[in-house]
Amino acid sequence: MWWPSKNFYGWSRKPVEVTIQGEKSTFRFMLPVGPSDPGICPQEPPPDSEGMVLAESDGAAQESPVTQTHERQNQMTNEFAVDLPDIEFGVAQSPDEIGKPEADAKDVAVKFGFIGAGQGGNRLADAFYSIGYRRVCAVNTTSQDFLGLTIPSKNQRVLESPGGAGKDPELGAKVLAKSSEEVLSLMRQSFGADVDHIIVTAGAGGGTGTGFAPGLVKLARYYLQQLGKEPRVGMVVALPKKAEGGKVQANAYKLMSALAPEADAKAISPFVIVDNECIYNMFPALSAKAFWATANKNVAGLFDIFNVLAKQQSAYVTFDRADYQSVLDSGVLVFGATKLESYRQETEISDGLRKNLSRTLLAEADIKQASHVAAILCAPDEILSVMPQSHIDHAFTTLERILGGEAKDLVIHQGVYEAKRAGLFLYTMVGGLTVPKARLEIMKSKAGV
């Protein structure tokens, strides 16, 4: 009698009909398969079984119904398979290859990322790129506002819009809300992961910059948090001249009113207010072409000098990165810069510091509110080698008195550096102020709101 060979395996729960063809006779019988005969036909196939052989006869094997079913299924699958077209997908970038911007062209203490919003904000961001910062990008609602920028085109992005915001901040805000992922992608490409602090630059008055600014602050915070870093986000906001129209004044007033609580609470820090009216009063003879370039260059330069010096060693008094960061984190800031023509008398340096604080490109603020101050003196060796230390000490003592530091916990960071340029230069950075309410009231009055 011919029994199923050792190659027979089955796992059907139904009886299997087996046909055995001998030399003279053919035998057909039903083989029970299942739990009742676990020794003959186990319910599960062995792990190394490829095909199913029911029986062997004259060296010829017969395929099981299970194998035949699999073949029919494969044939049906092949009939419905789709022939895909040949498309070049390029080489996928690994995470390590994405977001590696060009390194800054100078050695600085804090690695800033700048993102400009609207025409005014784009120009401000471009001023930082032109002096060596490379983590810089610009967003707008029209490509026309990118004309003349030195920021690489790959770091410029026109967000989906009908072609500008038309001085409508609500439209600008809607455009940004729809494009948040695109902006985050631009930040990753432009800033990379090696960024310490993000600054949003915007002009208060237009539709794009005014509408984008609050949302960009939130996106910048989110970006830094995703990198596992403290969400240090600041702003440089340019206010319109008093002669600009009511709609511009109204937009600026609404933006500043919305941002003021966060700025005063140091949630947006540094918060630097560039007042174009102050710039106009300081440089009334500037041509229209030179006006904006001069304003932006001075703002970027003042920001930059402290960042550069905080990285430099000094043989005298060093202003380090921690000093710089503490002032950056103090909220509303104003900067000052003065070149002294005479410095032989003890009081001349202190007089220069007083003028430094009163002659600024930034919005006027009550400096007696200050909580943090950085004061830097730079001069060539031929001056520092003969200047009495008492002159410098008197100047810093006077600065503390002017700011009311004798009656409060005022933090003053000092720095004295040797410079290559001839002359004696004083730089100040005063933080811990509040948004100037008087300036906001002027905008409100001009806007008629």
Which residues are within 8 A (CB) of 41 and not within 5 positions of it... i.e. 6 or more apart?
A: 8, 9, 10, 11, 31, 33, 34
Does residue 37 register a pLDDT over 50? no
Query: Using 50, 70 and 90 to split pLDDT, how confident is the model at 101?
Result: confident
**Residue in the block written with tokens 């819009």:** 161
- pLDDT of res. 346: 83
Which residue, 267, 127, 123, is CA-closest to 206?
Answer: 123
Q: What is the mean pLDDT of residues 356-372?
A: 75
Please indicate, yes or no, whether the overall pTM of this predicted structure exceeds 0.85: no
Q: Which of 43-47, 49-53, 73-77, 185-189 is predicted most confidently?
A: 185-189
pLDDT of residue 359: 63
Confidence of residue 307 (pLDDT cuts 50, 70, 90): very high
pLDDT in tens, 140-152: 999 888 999 999 9
Which tokens hold the place of 290? Answer: 């030179």
237 neighbors 334 (Cβ within 8 angstroms): no
Tell me 289's DSSP state: H
CA 180 to chain centre: 12
pLDDT at 130 over 70: yes
Name the nearest CA neighbour of 234 among 194, 274, 178, 190.
274
Rounded Cα distance, 262 and 220, in Å: 15
**pLDDT band for position 366 (cuts 50, 70, 90):** confident
Single-letter amino acid, residue 78: N
Q: pLDDT band for position 293 (50/70/90)?
A: confident
For residue 215, give both structure tokens. 């949302």
Counting every residue written for the chain, the total comes to 449
Pairwise pLDDT comparison (301 vs 93), residue with the higher score: 301
HSE-CB at 434 with a 13 A cutoff on CA atoms is: 9
Tokens 């810093």 sit on residue:
396
**Residue 412 is inside which H or E element, if any?**
strand 411-418
Strands (E), 346-386: 372-379
Cα angle, residue 344 at apex, residues 342 and 346 outer, rounded to 5°: 110
- Interior angle at CA 261, CA 258 and CA 265, nearest 5: 150
Backbone angles phi, psi at 257, to 5 degrees: -65, -35
> How far is it, in rounded angstroms, from Cα 54 to Cα 52?
6
Which has the closest alpha carbon to 204: 254, 157, 242, 156?
Answer: 254
What is the spatial distance between Cα 74 and Cα 68, in angstroms, rounded to a whole number?
A: 10
User: By C-alpha distance, which of 207, 200, 201 is closest to 175?
Assistant: 207
The C-alpha atoms of residue 180 and residue 433 are separated, in whole angstroms, by 31
- CA torsion 129-110-215-373 (nearest 10°) is -110
Per residue in 10-23, pLDDT (tens digit) is 444 455 555 555 55
Which residue type occupies 295? A
E strand map for 172-295: 197-203, 233-239, 271-275
Across 89-93, 165-169, 285-289, least confident range: 89-93
Query: Predicted confidence band at 280 (pLDDT cuts at 50, 70, 90)?
Result: confident
Coarse DSSP helix, strand, coil percentages of the chain, rounded to the nearest 5 percent: 40, 20, 40
Tell me which residue of 344, 335, 124, 323 sits closest to 235, measured CA to CA: 124
Q: Are 132 and 116 in contact (CB under 8 A)?
A: no
Q: Tell me: the pLDDT tens digits for 370-397?
A: 999 999 999 999 999 999 999 999 988 8
Joined tokens for residue 259? 């941002």
Cα 191-192-195 angle, rounded to 5 deg? 65
Give me the residue spans of the domains in the chain. Answer: 16-80
Residue 27 reports pLDDT greater than 50: yes
> Whose structure tokens read 């950075």?
429
More confident residue, 398 or 189: 189
The pLDDT confidence band at residue 49, using thresholds 50, 70 and 90, is: very low
**What backbone torsions phi and psi does residue 197 show, to the nearest 5 degrees?**
-150, 135
Query: Given a cut of 90, is residue 90 above it in pLDDT?
Result: no
Q: What is the pLDDT of residue 120?
A: 92
pLDDT at 446: 87
Task: With a cut of 50, say whether residue 219 has pLDDT above it.
Answer: yes
Provide the token pair at 418: 């040797």
How would you classify the pairing of strands 233-239 and 332-340? unpaired
